[in-house]
Structure 1
């Protein structure tokens, strides 16, 4: 009888993940697949010729810096929640929301800069891809800002703290993913425009 009890005590726990986190990871994988397919299509189409050559707007350097800063402020928010520093959590989330909105404004200005260079959505595929990449990323970033605002409101209602981190972890994961995705796209465009 003692052998059976010892065996049961040593049983390994199955790997488990919260269903919402699992759904988030599935969503992230699907977004990665979409952008991987689009960057592949970009390379294939560029190789066919008839490709518009243009300089990337300088503002993309600034928006890249903004997204990196927002990732740092999101990490500060995560650490603040984990350590029950609720005042810092609210400040860090607020900063991240503002930086996310600044990034979106910067993307709008980058489109204006493209128009000034006679690069349009319709016409040459070189310009079209630029609008699709930045526009699709902006759509995902808007969803990230909405998620941030929901988490910020939850922090004011004291629903985010060290014993209730699921939503905070999901928001941080998604935000860092969006930042990493932008850096990938920016470097890709720098190397392939």
Structure 2
């Protein structure tokens, strides 16, 4: 019995460490892109008057709300309230889809302003904007897949108050994605 608990603890530590290594590598990727953004801002063709579309502001509020919903899903699991756990996971999914919708709406607004990713009308600013946002969205899609998996596993009874590692890891990753978006939003807003 003691050996089983010890193995569970070691397994949990290993999974948490893997998550933090993944988060660290994502941070390094975005730090490199942020650095390139700053260096590129010295170019003669850098546009100084680009404002982020309001849809990105809306999506920022939505992703902050999703942080609360995933937090409450874990909290409800710790209280063994599985129906409420599923409810808050569904809310998190809905908010993530709304976030994605407003991201693409923001891209449409950027294009309507005449800024493109490539081609003669493109600028280095918008190219970086597209790369930063799309790379964040790629990680968000991974998070969405994880939340769907959590919802399925919770519905199948695989998570409980005693077995909550999966939802704890997902919550950590989700909060990281939220903070990453807030950083990107503020960075691009204030550095333009």
* 2:51 paired with 1:55: yes
Higher Cα radius of gyration: 1
TM superposition shift of 1:110: 0.6
Partner of 1:26: 21
Partner SS for 1:47: coil
Q: Distance in 1 between matches of 2:179 and 2:70?
A: 13
Counterpart in the other structure of 1:64:
60
C-alpha distance in structure 1 between counterparts of 2:102 and 2:63, whole Å: 11
Question: Alpha-carbon deviation of 1:21?
Answer: 2.0
1:1-193 pair list within 5 angstroms:
17-52=12-47, 53-122=49-118, 123-193=122-192
Counterpart residue number, 2:4: none
Task: Tell me the distance in 2 between the aligned counterparts of 1:104 and 1:57.
Answer: 14
Question: Residues 155-182 of structure 1: CA distance to partner in whole angstroms, max 9, x if unpaired?
Answer: 1011111100110111100000000000
Q: Give the aligned CA root-mean-square deviation in angstroms.
A: 1.2
Listed as ranges, the gaps of 5+ residues in structure 2 are: 1-8
- Deviations 1:87-138 (Å, cap 9, x if unpaired)? 1100000000110111011111011001001111113111100100110000
How much has 1:48 moved relative to structure 2? 2.5
How big is the shift at 1:24? Answer: 1.3
| Dislocated runs of 4+, deviation >3 Å | none
Given that 2:143 and 2:174 are in contact with CA atoms closer than 8 Å, whether structure 1 keeps it comes out as yes
Distance in 2 (CA, whole Å) between partners of 1:56 and 1:174 is: 25
Which residue pairs with 2:6 in the alignment? none
Question: How many residues in Structure 1 have an aligned counterpart in Structure 2?
Answer: 179
